Chains A and B, each alone.
Chain A
Amino acid sequence: MSARVAILTGAAGGIGRATAERFARDGWSLVLVDVADSVTAVAADIDAGAAGKVVGVAADITRAEALAPVEAALHGIGAPLKALGLIAGTLQEVGPVETLDMAEWDRVMGINVRANVLMMQRFVPLLRVAGGGTIVTISSWYGRSGHGLFSAYCASKAALISLTQSAAAELADDGIRVNSVAPGNVATRMHLSALQEEADNRGVSFEAMKKTEWDKIPLRRAAEPAEIAAAVAFLSGPESSYLTGTTLDVNGGCLFT
């Protein structure tokens, strides 16, 4: 297989790291991006066992100027950019719309929406130069409908689904397919600590809280990060060649769309 590079954001987190491992196994070279400095250690770790080259860049992708080192790392690898995996995301501080801190609103929108627009603006020209490629965003089943106390998060993920469709419409002629994966609950640190927090709020055990939540899911468990990574890999590969603008619901059956 000829050399090809993917840029993955949020690569130090649960889904991001699993996706990086999956892509590395599939022969991709990677630029791994995360706001956390630990991304360079993650990259070094994955690079050690990979056929391609894996480089980590710590960057706050909500700022356009922070993307320069990401692009520099890409050029350093020296192979065409064929995929963007826009995985970085954040939860919100839980609370009602009425009293929502607007700084929190802006933070959530900044990471979950704005950063993805900035990434597209910066890297779509390079996908075009490479003769086309794929963009995969990570939305959420919470972007499929609104939920109380999660207004910023739900709105940001709904916006991301819409952004995915608009970009798909604009970029189809360039051979760039744009799709989204909408996970349900995923057994990441983000999800498990949210369960712990809710358990503490209700004064119940972590296991009881987990059972309460997971019993709502027909498959009775949260996804493994690798299962979300598998969907990202599918949407970034040739077997999804006729899919664009779609949102793939990988949620164990917790929501049917």
Chain B
Amino acid sequence: MTSEGKGGAIVTGAARGIGRQIAAGLVADGYGVVIADVDETTGQATAEALTQAGGGAAVFAKVDVTDRASIQDAIGVCVKRFGSLKVMINNAGYNKPEPFLDITEKTWRGILEVNALGVLIGIQEAGKAMIAAGTKGKIINTASIAGRTGFPDFAPYCVSKAAVISLTQSAARALASKGITVNAFAPGVVATPLWEQLDKDLYAMGASTAPGEAMGSMANQILLGRVADPKDVVGTVKFLWSEQSDYMTGQVLVIDGGMVLQ
């Protein structure tokens, strides 16, 4: 399989964590993948590592998802390098816990800007490029179980992920007639840098009494008895980018090892 075998894909926030694993899955499946991330050093290293792993190929593009021009540039790179944009994964996001009564406007705006507006821009620009090329593409957004229910210590993140779910539904209706499907996946507790930081922050905040406790207490509620490894989400996201899910649009697939049962 050549790097152009299945066409191009973009994963935002792909330098590490879930995004990196999804990018690895796309490369292994024969896609050319743009590693779109604000972190140039880690992003470059990820692109090189994934290319060496074989299958398709990966290139890095420095992207701030809140900056429309940088997303447009990444799409340009994808089309130029891999011939098309078939799959857009709007994955970039971050969390910063604060006790509910202490949430600041700065935290709110920062998280909503990246996690919600960033996804809107990603869908819009990918959608326009796919329509222009006549591509029946797949747009996949990273939501969260925090978008299905509110948690007390990181409300802006919950709001932003509820927004991702809502954007997924609106975009699915808006783009269905163009043959573009839009779905989301909602991870539960995943052993990623985001969660490790969250666990530390919750401990520092006094919301837990020991490091690892916040994550551990969440894990106790998981039927499969463990938090997810980033690799655990890849199979489901692969299902969403494959033709196996062609009849699905506007849906949110929860990958939480059995926590919320929704």
Contacts and interface: CB of A to CB of B under 8 A. Distances in A.
A184 B218 CA distance: 33
B159 to A, nearest CB: 18
Q: Please indicate which of the listed interface residues B169, B247, B256 has the most CB atoms of chain A within 10 Å of its own CB.
A: B247
Nearest to A179: B258
Interface in B150-186: 169, 172-173, 176-177, 181
A223 interface: yes
B255 to A, nearest CB: 5
Contacts of A248: 248, 251, 253
B236 interface: yes
B134 interface: no
Contacts of B248: 231, 248-253
A36 interface: no
Contact of A246 (B172, B225, B250, B253): B253
A168 B262 CA distance: 13
Chain A interface bracket (under 10, 10 to 19, 20 to 34, 35 or more): 35 or more
B137 to A, nearest CB: 14
A238 interface: yes
B251 A249 contact: yes
A243 B255 contact: yes
A30 to B, nearest CB: 19
Interface majority SS (helix, strand, loop, mixed), chain B:
mixed
A240 B239 contact: yes
A211 interface: no
B247 A239 contact: no
Nearest to B251: A249
Interface string A91-106: 0000000000000000
Contacts of A238: 235
A240 B236 contact: yes
A13 interface: no
Interface residues of B, number: 35
A236 B113 CA distance: 38
Contacts of B252: 256-257
A238 B142 CA distance: 21
Given A238-B235, A240-B239, A248-B253, A169 B173 contact: no
A199 interface: no
A241 B262 CA distance: 18
A242 B244 contact: no
A252 B247 contact: yes
B15 interface: no
A114 B251 CA distance: 29
Contact of B244 (A233, A251, A252): A233
A242 B225 CA distance: 10
Interface in A147-182: 165, 168-169, 172-173, 177
B104 interface: no
A253 B168 CA distance: 11
A234 B256 CA distance: 16
B250 A256 contact: yes
B249 interface: yes
Given A172-B258, A253-B249, A253-B250, A239 B223 contact: no
A227 interface: yes
Given A168-B258, A169-B223, A218 B249 contact: yes
Contacts of B101: none
A44 interface: no
A68 interface: no
Instruction: Give the interface centre of B172, B243, B258 by most chain A CB atoms within 10 Å.
Output: B258
Interface of A: 165, 168-169, 172-173, 177, 184, 218-220, 223-224, 227-228, 230-231, 233-234, 237-246, 248-253, 256-257
5 contacts: A172-B225, A177-B224, A227-B244, A253-B173, A253-B251
Interface of B: 169, 172-173, 176-177, 181, 223-225, 228, 232-236, 238-239, 243-258, 261-262
